[in-house]
């Protein structure tokens, strides 16, 4: 399918690098809370149900934080999706239209999942005495829905980068030439490893969050809890890294030829290798330090390492996406009509907004102390 000549449409409102920068930055930030519900929710529920004392406590803490984390995840997800639609609309829209009902189902799943998390969190009040079978089921249902949402996202974004699959899916799922919106990109070899890779990374993020929570947000928990969480996070991070490595290797093996040439050619191969190896850094910090005293400095180092992992992942994914979409059109060659004034308004508002949010968080921290 060729993209249409839309020279009469408004050009890109920002230089292409700006679009990519905010897309990558937004996705990196989005991954932090999103990982905590994607793999974190199912892990926390499992730990709360079957874990030891400290595991159970961590599971409860994470599920109590989950309503806020879900809100932040949704909120931060808007940025990459906004800039994705700015720069990649001609690949993104056809792909999502072909699977429209499934794509829309993300919204339909997110609403009950969000309320399921709230219901479960209400059940955890007063040391869990308010937990009922319905609330427990709501929590597990929410975790299952988060996994399903991840699968649908993997479908949509793998299909965005796979225009070669569109005609066949369209012909199989159409009525009078119009898409019925019932296609899924199941035949794409990259779909499954892509979905699973994110789950492995999400486990590492959850492990990193566990130590951040223990170091900063849990002053009422005793040193034993902190030690227990360290051991737990070491194991989870290790499992996540193994998982991510296996899924990542699978992903690389099934890359289309053009992607392989681009990502394994010099010098991009260095970035690919770095991205693949990176989850082992936070995992190593967590595993090796699992018996040591948990300090805030060490927790900060682990966070920094995991943020670097996520940023590298986002950059590499972006390059892969550009290579994939290039089969359809050159996204970087789109005409621009840069809106400098509105861009300045946004950047100034962003800075002012960050200051306001910073002030609110400072007040919250003051209140906590």
Partner 1 sequence: MHYPWWYVPHLTSPMLIAAIAVVHVLVSHYAVGGGLFLAVETGFARRTGDKEYLAYLFRHTRFFVLLTVAFGAITGVGIWWTIGLASPLATEVLIRTFVFGWATEYVFFVIEIVSAFAFYYYWDRLAEKTHVAIGRIYGVSAWISLVLISGITAFMLNPGRWLESRSFWDGLFNPQFLPQTVARTGGALLLSSLYVYLHGSLTLGDRRLHDLIARRSARPALLGAILITVGGVGWYAFLPESARAVLDAASVLNVLVMLIFALTAVVFVLLYLGPYRNPGWLSPGFAGALMLFGLAAFSTGEFIREAVRKPYVLYNVVLGNQILPEEVAGLRQNGYLAGGRWTRKILDTDYPRLLVDGRLDQDRMLALDEKDQIALGRVIFQYHCNDCHAIERGYSAVGPLIVGRNREMNLWTIEHLEQAHFFMPPWSGTPAEARALAIYLESIAPKRPGGMYPLPGGETRP
Least distance between partner 1 and beta carbon 149 (Å): 11
With binding defined as CB under 8 A, does residue 356 bind partner 1?
A: yes
Residue 164 CA to residue 170 CA, distance in Å, equals: 11
Looking at 44-52, 174-182, 246-254, 304-312, which segment touches partner 1 (CB under 8 A)? Answer: 174-182
Least distance between partner 1 and beta carbon 244 (Å): 28
Task: Map the footprint of partner 1 across residues 273-312, applying CB under 8 A.
Answer: none
Least distance between partner 1 and beta carbon 30 (Å): 12
With binding defined as CB under 8 A, does residue 63 bind partner 1?
A: no
Task: Map the footprint of partner 1 across residues 69-108, applying CB under 8 A.
Answer: 70-72, 74-75, 78-79, 81-83, 85-86, 89-90, 92-94, 96-98, 100, 103-104, 106-107
Q: Which of 37, 38, 151, 170 binds partner 1 (CB under 8 A)?
A: 170
Task: Map the footprint of partner 1 across residues 20-39, applying CB under 8 A.
Answer: 22
Question: Of 4 and 266, which CB lies nearer to partner 1 in the complex structure?
Answer: 4
C-alpha 171, offset from chain centre: 32
Looking at 201-209, 219-227, 285-293, 338-346, which segment touches partner 1 (CB under 8 A)? Answer: 338-346
Question: Of 4 and 17, which CB lies nearer to partner 1 in the complex structure?
Answer: 4
User: Given CA atoms 345, 311, 251, 205 in this order, what sign does their dihedral have?
Assistant: negative
Task: Map the footprint of partner 1 across residues 108-127, applying CB under 8 A.
Answer: 110-111, 114-115, 118
Question: Of 71 and 269, which CB lies nearer to partner 1 in the complex structure?
Answer: 71
- What SS3 state is found at 328? coil
Residue count at the site for partner 1 (CB under 8 A)? 75
What region, left, alpha or beta, does residue 64 occupy, with left being phi > 0 and alpha being psi -120 to 50 degrees? Answer: alpha
Least distance between partner 1 and beta carbon 25 (Å): 12
Closest CA to 100 of 38, 177, 155: 155
- What SS3 state is found at 15? coil
Task: Map the footprint of partner 1 across residues 210-239, applying CB under 8 A.
Answer: none
Neighbouring residues of 131: CB distance < 8 A, sequence distance ≥ 6: 123, 124
328-to-81, 160, 320 alpha-carbon distances in Å:
19, 10, 14
User: Given CA atoms 10, 13, 16, 22 in this order, what sign does their dihedral have?
Assistant: negative
Task: Show the CA angle centred on residue 335, arms to residues 317 and 263, nearest 5°.
Answer: 25
Longest Cα–Cα distance of the chain, Å, equals: 66
């Amino acid at each position: 399918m060729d993209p249409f000549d839309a020279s009469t449409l408004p050009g890109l409102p920002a230089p292409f690098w700006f679009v990519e920068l905010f897309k990558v930055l937004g996705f990196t930030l989005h991954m932090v809370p999103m990982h905590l519900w994607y793999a974190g929710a199912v892990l926390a529920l499992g730990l709360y149900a079957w874990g030891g004392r400290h595991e159970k406590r961590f599971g409860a803490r994470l599920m109590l934080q989950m309503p806020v984390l879900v809100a932040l995840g949704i909120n931060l997800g808007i940025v990459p999706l906004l800039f994705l639609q700015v720069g990649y609309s001609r690949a993104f829209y056809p792909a999502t239209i072909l699977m429209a009902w499934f794509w829309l189902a993300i919204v339909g799943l997110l609403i009950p999942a969000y309320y399921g998390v709230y219901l479960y969190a209400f059940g955890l009040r007063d040391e869990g005495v308010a937990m009922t079978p319905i609330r427990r089921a709501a929590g597990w249902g929410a975790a299952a829905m988060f996994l399903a949402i991840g699968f649908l996202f993997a479908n949509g974004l793998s299909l965005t980068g796979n225009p070669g699959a569109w005609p066949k899916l369209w012909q199989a799922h159409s009525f009078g030439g119009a898409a019925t919106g019932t296609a899924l990109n199941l035949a794409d070899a990259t779909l499954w490893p892509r979905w699973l890779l994110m789950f492995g990374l999400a486990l590492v993020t959850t492990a990193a969050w566990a130590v951040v929570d223990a170091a900063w947000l849990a002053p009422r928990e005793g040193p034993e809890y902190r030690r227990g969480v360290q051991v737990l996070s070491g194991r989870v991070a290790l499992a996540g890294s193994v998982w991510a490595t296996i899924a990542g290797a699978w992903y690389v093996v099934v890359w289309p030829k053009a992607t392989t040439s681009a990502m394994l050619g010099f010098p991009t191969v260095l970035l690919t290798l770095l991205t693949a190896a990176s989850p082992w850094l936070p995992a190593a910090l967590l595993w090796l330090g699992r018996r040591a005293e948990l300090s805030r400095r060490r927790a900060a180092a682990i966070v920094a390492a995991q943020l670097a992992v996520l940023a590298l992942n986002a950059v590499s994914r972006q390059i892969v996406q550009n290579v994939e979409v290039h089969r359809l059109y050159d996204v970087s060659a789109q005409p621009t009509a840069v809106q400098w004034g509105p861009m300045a308004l946004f950047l100034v508002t962003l800075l002012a907004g960050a200051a306001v949010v910073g002030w609110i968080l400072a007040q919250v921290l003051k209140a906590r102390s």
